[in-house]
Every structure is written in structure tokens, then in C-alpha cells.
Amino acid sequence: MMNLTKKYQIFLLSIIYFFYKEIHSSIIDRINIIKIFFFTNSKKNIFFQNFLKSNSNLFKDLNCGKKKNSILVDTVMGHPGYICTQLIIAKFIQKITGDNIVILNRKKKFINNKCW
């Protein structure tokens, strides 16, 4: 049987270890955020800048009626089960909110001529 001081030592060591891990992970997270911030804003990454431009152009062209809100359904995955569940969830959300459904297909173009 362990004496009381030994139990306190183990307890304090476990608390110190817990806080060490938390502080260490928060420092690593902040370092990663800073790296990502400077990486995405640098002009050295041409591919990322082109990706941002193409996506911003694609989302500017999104026009589905006069409503401001739309439900974007991702059907890029080729699995039929995934597509069906995405469409069913979007339909239920449409019944609740009354927003339009816009489908993003595999060719990365919006299907917005039919606002379901």
C-alpha cells in the first residue's frame, strides 16, 4: 500500500505533465497558425494564389434567384451513397430554411439553372 506522500507526488506529477502537454500543444498550434498565415499571404506560392483566384471567380458567379442564401451541396465525391445523403440532408435543410439548393458537381461548375 502506498503512503500518502507518494500519492500526492504522483498526483502533482500528473497535473504538471497535463499542463505541460497543454501548453506545448498550444505553442505548437500558434506556431502553425503563424506559419500558415505567412505561407498563404506570400507571393512565392503561385499555385495557392491561382487556386484562390479561381475559387473567388467561381463563387462570384453564384446566382440562384433573388434570395441571398443558398445551400451548397458538395457532390464531388463519386460515391452514390455519399451524394444521396448529401442531397437528402440539403432537402431537409431547404424545407426548414426555405433557401435554394445549389449543387457543385465533379466538373467544379455550379448547377444553378434549376433551383430545387
* Domain-embedded: residue 4: no
pLDDT tens-digit series, residues 83-116: 888 888 888 888 888 888 887 776 655 554 444 4
From residue 70, how far is each of 36, 63, 77, 87 by CA, in Å? 30, 9, 20, 14
Phi, psi for residue 98 in degrees, rounded to 5: 80, 15
User: In which domain, by residue range, is 94 found?
Assistant: 64-111
Judge whether 100 lies within some domain: yes
In a domain, 32, yes or no: no
Does residue 102 belong to any structural domain of this protein?
A: yes
What per-residue confidence (pLDDT) applies to 41? Answer: 58
Which of 98-113 are b and which e, b meaning 16 or more Cβ less than 10 Å from the residue's Cβ? ebbbbbbeeeeebbbe
- Order of strands across the sheet with 110-111? 70-74, 100-104, 110-111
Residues of the chain with pLDDT under 50: 112-116
Give the chain's length.
116
Residue 89 lies in a domain: yes
Residue 83 lies in a domain: yes
Domains in the chain: how many in total? 1
Asked whether residue 94 is domain-assigned, the answer is yes
